[in-house]
Structure 1
Amino acid sequence: MPSFKVLLVANTSWYLYNFRLPLLRDLRAAGYVVEAVAPHDSYTARLQAEGFTVHNWLVTRSSVNPFSEAHALVDLLRIYRREQPALVHHFTIKACLYGTIAAKGARIYRVINAVTGLGHVFLGTRKRSRLMRRAIRPVYKAAFMARRSTVVFQNAADQEKLIQLGITDGKRAKLIRGSGVDIEHFNPAALAKAPSPGAFHQPLQLLFPSRLIREKGVQELLEACQRLWADAIPLQLLVAGAIDAGNRSALTPAELSTLQADSRIRCLGHVADMRAVYAAADLVVLPSWREGLSRSLIEAAAMERPIITTDVPGCRDVIDHGRSGLLVAIQDARGIELAIRLLLDNPDLSHRLGKEARRKVIAEFQVSLVNESTLHTYQRLLGVSLDRKPMLQGLF
């Protein structure tokens, strides 16, 4: 296979390191010259220590200043013209939009735009969301209907939504389910003290593994916990996530201080390696309003944790209700409370759900399967025969 140069592009080095490092490694092992494009941050050095060049993209994730955004677009065009890759793979929305424009200016004809989730603009029902959706729809359509663009979705609902809106079409859309997890790394058998699912602690250890933003359902979970505490149910809430300063719906520092002051809540902040946290949890609850495909749920499932989540895209894709976890309605604190009570009262059910959750991850979400699908997409776009895979033998 010829040695093709490819660039993986995102609005933070943090994202590429935490979610796409296995893909970077597998692409390199398959014979690609693979480099990263992202703003330099505290995770840049970790990518560089892995042997990857990280081109510094001068973009600010949360900025809406038109001059700053124009500068970010020009800077990305400069990188593309200088590096001249055979293919660019964009993650996060600014990378997708600006990257597709920059690819056209740099005459790069193979573009993958990865939709990691639809934001509130596409999902909101308020007048402001509808007006914003109408305003930005032509921009999205220009990027996702471009001849050079392949659009990768993490769940079928997001894919169908954008097809219905005319932003992309079935010819360009492809479903690849998430970024995958390493089932050997997230393996309870590898931890000496990992309890069996359903073997509950006293007090019950309830884990919320997410950034502290309202769309993750943190307020509904807190309300459910208050109901349980009011009935004197011994329960400790573990919060593994930090405030996302770049997100407008993040909890405020004052709200975080209130959580930290409650002795029944342990705020762990951002945890680099979640295995021990999952292993210490009796139940994992993520009542998110919507996900692209929840990485934390897949990790928890791989660790055989009984899971309660919402019946929304990106969550119900991970959990089969009553088989590998429980689904509740969106923004339903009472439903969360009842689901916790059900599992607390039925440890055998919790055990079965945890075991089945890991089996589903092995069958559908392990990183080798996800990366193999991505590599096949690269081969198709680059004209490499899928029957000739000398560089891929032994990888999967």
Structure 2
Amino acid sequence: MKNRIVRITTVPISLRTLLKGQLKFISHHFDVIGVSSGGSELEDVREHEGIRVVPIEMSRKITPLKDLQSLWSAYRLFKKEKPTIVHSHTPKAGIVGMVAAKLAGVPIRLHTVAGMPLMEVTGGKRKILDFVERLTYSAATKVYPNSKGLFDFIVSHQYTSLNKLKLIGNGSSNGINTSQFSKEVISEEQQNLLRNDLGIGNDDFVFVFVGRLVGDKGVNELVKAFCQLNYPSVKLLLVGPLESDLDPLHNDTLRRIDENEGIISAGFQKDVRPYFAISNALVFPSYREGFPNVVMQAGAMELPAIVSDINGCNEIIIEGKNGTIIPVKNVDAVKDAMEMMITDKELYLKMKINARRMITERYEQQVVWDALLTEYKSLLKDKGLDNV
């Protein structure tokens, strides 16, 4: 009989996208249940990962009454299913999953930290989030920051004891499937059709941003910087959904996106690879990250990157080797880095040549999966549960 593992995230897109393929791999060794808020995306997880899924509604905002309902639902599920391991991702699923698992007597309780919204919060709300973070880690038996920067941040703020913390592999929650994220899989015909659809010329230099179009991804600064460039045949391709509820873009930014003919907003795309394939460089001036998949994906697709000096980004990108690192929230720095990519052809080519190799050597997906599987087996052995 296989040990049972529950993997829990706040919203199903995290199971479906951020952990894509991992749950299927783990299910070859364990009985895996995926838990998240309900909806069609959770059903997609069931279908594509081949695992059982259970919906538990969770809010991404601070909603005490709803959170207590989520906690009760998770507790009841864990008492019924009796998992050996509960492994949570994302902040709300972390507090709900870890506290419920501890109350239900789950022996191994793991939480992966992949970005901390509290980094951008101050005042009373920051105190609440600090408390929640500490409570989550207190209820967990092991905490996995997915980058060295997050590891150091947690230690410096004394959220938990050092012996609870561990960085798995070189970082990243899921690694990158470099055979899937390869320019070779997107044909010239596909690329030409997409360029024509978007109004991009063969000689255009295309900067691409992939992610939610929100403030803390640095989109306000990116759009403002791009509008200050004065080069013919340069485009900015924005790939991702607008979010108007949690962290909306400035009205000036929305106006610039609408009015500047060089900015192309493609919206959310299930498959971002064709958009990388027709681009020349990634620009990702985010305020905070855990270990951003987008930067790894772009690198695997042979794109050098402009990234902000934050956790994860400044580990994937090595200055001058496969991209450049700039200060956070700095319009001039974004503009100067974009100009460098356009004008310094020798440096650009060097970074482009290095981009894919530096991802395959450090973040190949199978390496990350194998390291996680080894960790699970080690924890079970330590508890004497490896033969259950």
- Which amino acid in 2 is paired with 1:182? N
Aligned with 2:132 (options 139, 144, 151): 139
Q: 1:217 corresponds to which residue?
A: 218
CA distance in 1, matches of 2:12, 2:128: 29
Corresponding residue for 2:57?
58
Distance 1:321 1:234, change over 3 A: same
Contact kept? 1:143, 1:149, Cα under 8 Å: no
Write the mapping of 1:1-396 to structure 2, written as runs, cut at 5 A. Answer: 3-29=2-28, 31-50=29-48, 51-62=50-61, 64-119=62-117, 121-124=118-121, 129-146=122-139, 148-176=140-168, 177-178=171-172, 179-193=174-188, 201-228=202-229, 231-245=230-244, 247=246, 249-251=247-249, 256=254, 259-383=257-381
Distance 1:113 1:363 in 2: 26
Instruction: Kindly state the Cα deviation for residue 135 of structure 1 after the two structures are TM-superposed.
Output: 3.7
Say whether the 8 Å CA contact 1:12–1:41 is kept in structure 2: no
TM-score (structure 2 length as normaliser): 0.89
Equivalent residues of 1:61, 1:246 under 8 A apart: no
Aligned amino acid, residue 76 of structure 2: R
Report the Cα offset of residue 36 of structure 1: 0.3
**Other-structure match for 1:391:** none
Using the alignment, how far apart are the partners of 1:370 and 1:52 within structure 2?
Answer: 20
- Indicate if the aligned counterparts of 1:97 and 1:143 stay in contact, CA closer than 8 A: yes
Give the count of matched residue pairs: 371
What displacement does 1:8 show? Answer: 0.6
| CA displacement 1:104-159 (0-9 Å, x = unmatched) | 2211010110111111x2344xxxx143333443432232134x521011111211
Instruction: Specify the code of the residue in structure 2 equivalent to 1:277.
Output: Y
1:324–1:353 Cα contact (<8 Å) kept: yes
CA contact (8 A) 2:59 2:92 kept: no
Residues 309 and 315, structure 1, Cα contact 8 Å, conserved in 2 = yes
Q: How has the CA–CA distance of structure 1 residues 257 and 75 changed in structure 2, closer, same or farther, with 3 Å as cutoff?
A: farther
Structure 1 residues 71 and 246 mapped into 2: Cα distance closer, same or farther (>3 Å)?
A: farther
Contact 1:9 1:95 in 2 (8 A): yes
Separation in 2 of the partners of 1:366 and 1:283? 21
- Deviation by residue 1:162-220 (Cα, 9 ceiling, x = unmatched): 2222211221111131121100000112333299xxxx943321111121111111111
Greater share of residues in helix: 2
Identical residues among aligned pairs (%): 22
Question: Quick check: 1:22–1:367 contact (8 Å CA) kept in 2?
Answer: no
* 1:65, distance to aligned residue in structure 2 (A): 2.9
**Unaligned 5+ runs, structure 2:** 192-200
3-state SS of paired residue (1:268): strand
User: Partners of 1:69 and 1:350 in 2: how far apart?
Assistant: 48
Whole-Å separation in 1 of the counterparts to 2:39 and 2:250: 23
Deviation, structure 1 residue 246: 5.2
CA contact (8 A) 1:205 1:236 kept: yes
Name the SS of the counterpart of 1:89 in structure 2: strand
2: CA distance between counterparts of 1:134 and 1:341?
A: 40
Q: 1:328 to 1:137 in 2, by over 3 A?
A: closer
Q: Which amino acid aligns with 2:207?
A: L
3-state SS in 1 of match to 2:161: coil
Contact 2:119 2:288 survives alignment (8 Å)? no
